[in-house]
Structure 1
């Protein structure tokens, strides 16, 4: 195996063959379409890498406080429904992992947060049942016995699921008058990631339904970030005293 062939195989995940020819054979480094592909692949991989830790600050904050105050369990459920739809739809349509891979890591971290909202609310058994049932349903969705029409319908439900998830969380923040144990780092990173996903989805899948889902998600995440800024200096103890 020659060095050139080895390099081509190494870069094939982010640089398809036609673009490899453009960049490394013809040295046409400013070729527009290939630059878009490269940017999209790098953005996608960056989002996936960031998603591995994106909700860890939130989890750490909950564990340190031994409380999930300010976090809506109903919002968590809606978010997990949306994530399951994205994963199942992407797998069935054979989209590249770089176009949806962060959903897997977000799922695991969101599931942990969902469990903690129950555990620190004195409902540990309910939290464990919730986790087991969710994973069982996800396994069913990814199995061949689930019709394609069901998967597509579930993806179409993503938009109302995303909207309800974010609005439920926004409502919880508004009613309590503070962001509680919500992590600012997590909220901002999720917002930035959803914005970047609009571009990568357009470039890598061209799927209008998936793109629209990320547009809606970005808008709703933006509302939460605005609330974060508005209630920046308000803490639960201060609000309670008032």
Structure 2
């Protein structure tokens, strides 16, 4: 690998990891401020959280460089905070122990056999993609951006693009590459949809 490629790879890894450390903070701050979950899909968040757990477990199981998936444990923590906020503002905090138990048990099952985590990753791409599409459906049904943070979705789009390049330059794993291509398209779709609804509201104001 040429030195320039090493430099490019380092920039992508560092930028993706740093952005993911703050990726969900705009959304968390917005929910905490307005104390309303309108436009935010709980089902999409649950699917996204499951996808993060599966992907991080897959990468760790196959010995991928930690720099290529370091952000995923951080994203799991941030999504967990978002989940608690949504449950709190919707008056469903009693469900939090059930969700916690389900994810812990699911993670333990993933680590029982190698073939389980390999199969789970294939399903994970579908699950993560479905979570984005579910959020799109939620936006379409409300007809407005609600409490969705455009910044969060814009940053998510960038990190997936960055991970396409880091995968190509390191493992070349086609399953992982397919995942990031799909998520780039869907994250970008959500981002543009949020921008459109915000523009429409300003235009009508």
TM-score (norm: length of structure 2): 0.92
Q: Within 5 A, what are the aligned runs for 1:128-207?
A: 128-141=97-110, 143=111, 146-207=112-173
RMSD: 1.8
| Conserved? CA contact 1:198–1:211, under 8 Å | yes
Which residue does the alignment assign to 2:46?
77
Residues of 2 paired with 1:102 and 1:42: CA distance? 14
Which residue does the alignment assign to 2:69?
100
TM-score (norm: length of structure 1): 0.79
State the structure with more CA Rg: 1
| Conserved? CA contact 2:164–2:177, under 8 Å | yes
Which 4+ stretches in 1 moved above 6 angstroms? none
- Alignment coverage as a number of residue pairs: 203
Residues of 2 paired with 1:135 and 1:44: CA distance? 28
Shift of 1:80: 1.3
For residues 89-134 of structure 1, the C-alpha deviation after alignment (integer angstroms, 9 at most, x for no partner) is 1000110111111111111111211222221111011134313432
Shift of 1:136: 4.0
Which residue does the alignment assign to 1:22?
none
Give the alignment partner of residue 81 of structure 2, picking from 76, 88, 112: 112
| Conserved? CA contact 2:153–2:188, under 8 Å | no
Which residue does the alignment assign to 2:187?
221
Q: Which protein, 1 or 2, shows the higher relative CO under an 8 Å CA cutoff with sep ≥ 6?
A: 2
Unaligned runs of 5+ in 1: 1-31
| Conserved? CA contact 2:150–2:195, under 8 Å | no
Give the alignment partner of residue 11 of structure 2, picking from 42, 45, 48: 42
Unaligned runs of 5+ in 2: none
| Conserved? CA contact 2:43–2:131, under 8 Å | yes
| Larger fraction in helix | 2
